[in-house]
Amino acid sequence: MSTFKEIRGTLIKSVSSDPANPVLGEMWYNSTTGSQALKGSVSLIGQWSSGGNLNLARRAMGAAGTQTAGLTFGGTPPPNGSTLSEEYNGSSWSEGNDIDTGRTGLAGAGSQTAALAFGGDQNSTVKNETEEYDGSSWSEQNNLSTARLGLGGCGTQTAGLAFGGTPPTTTATEEYNGTSWTAGGALPVAKYSLTGAGTQTAGLSVGGTTGSSDYLATTEEYNGTAWTGGGTLNTGRSDMGGAGIQTAGVVFGGFTGANTSQTEQYDGTSWVVVSSMATSRRQLAGAGTQASALGFGGFSSGDSNATEEFTGGTITQTFTTST
């Protein structure tokens, strides 16, 4: 026969041990001496967990790949922009071959073995350099038409997309075909410190700033020809990480006037707030998919080497509270 404990006027089932498989929304009182507590089962959308640290703490770097085969390159420090590349295997980072042009504020696209790095800044000189990575070494390719830093990027090594950036703050979009860049449809608003996801023909541009101390909540979707407005972020921000595709994107961290750990998911129509990162930070990098993302580096109280792994979907978790 079940026993119950009255807690603040409500009868709660009293048990001597936690249920093995609690039902979502279930609550119980654990009566065991030393662990007496009110407990329950709640649903979380997504969950972050710790991954292996970067070898070099840094911010504003480029990124490509997936949660189990990630790639990062460039960033700050050193002051002229790092040349260091690192590869992630799902548990730890190892150093790869350096990019040719050390820089910070660059963008990336592609995979761990077929990546694209473009734009950025080296010692206050804005760059238009493009480099390709084959999993072993970097090689210089034809330059962007518009030199810029703080730009967004997405796509693959042979079908990349670059958009936004500064200075001057621009709406320019360029498409890469594996050999050269050509002009694409302009963003509706000139902005920088934005993030990107998706492909060259189904791209996603999220957040950023126009440079007027604003933190944009706007989303734009690219169809291979033109950008159109998408859903609005719950929290406008710049300098965030991002991953996924146009109809299943995820953004995390960033700057809202202060560093944030907030994470939001996109379904192609609207954004929803999900579980936050453990570490609030800006100028971090992201890779992977909405269901399996990677967030790493950035600036918190200093340059960070922290890596976090995101698992999307609905997760049931037990909570404990005092009575």
pLDDT digits (tens, 9 = 90+) for 122-173: 999 999 999 999 999 999 999 999 999 999 999 999 999 999 999 999 999 9
Distance CA 144, CA 129 (A): 6
CA-to-CA separations, 71 to 66, 107, 133, 219, in angstroms, rounded: 8, 12, 10, 25
**Does a cis peptide bond (omega within 30 degrees of 0) precede residue 188?**
no
Beta-sheet pairing, 241-245 with 248-252: antiparallel
Distance CA 298, CA 44 (A): 25
Q: Is 138 exposed, middle or buried (0-12, 13-18, 19+ CB in 10 A)?
A: buried
pLDDT of residue 250: 97
**In the chain, what are the domains?**
3-46+314-321 (no CATH), 47-313 (2.120.10.80)
| Residue tagged 């300098």 (tokens) | 239
pLDDT of residue 9: 73
The whole-model pTM stands at: 0.86
pLDDT of residue 35: 59
CA-to-CA separations, 124 to 81, 104, 121, 145, in angstroms, rounded: 10, 10, 6, 19
pLDDT digits (tens, 9 = 90+) for 17-69: 888 777 656 777 788 855 567 776 655 678 999 999 999 999 999 999 999 99
Q: List all residues 6 or more positions away from 301 whose beta carbon is below 8 Å from its beta carbon.
A: none
* Among the ranges given (3-12, 71-80, 223-232), the one the predictor scored with the smallest mean pLDDT: 3-12
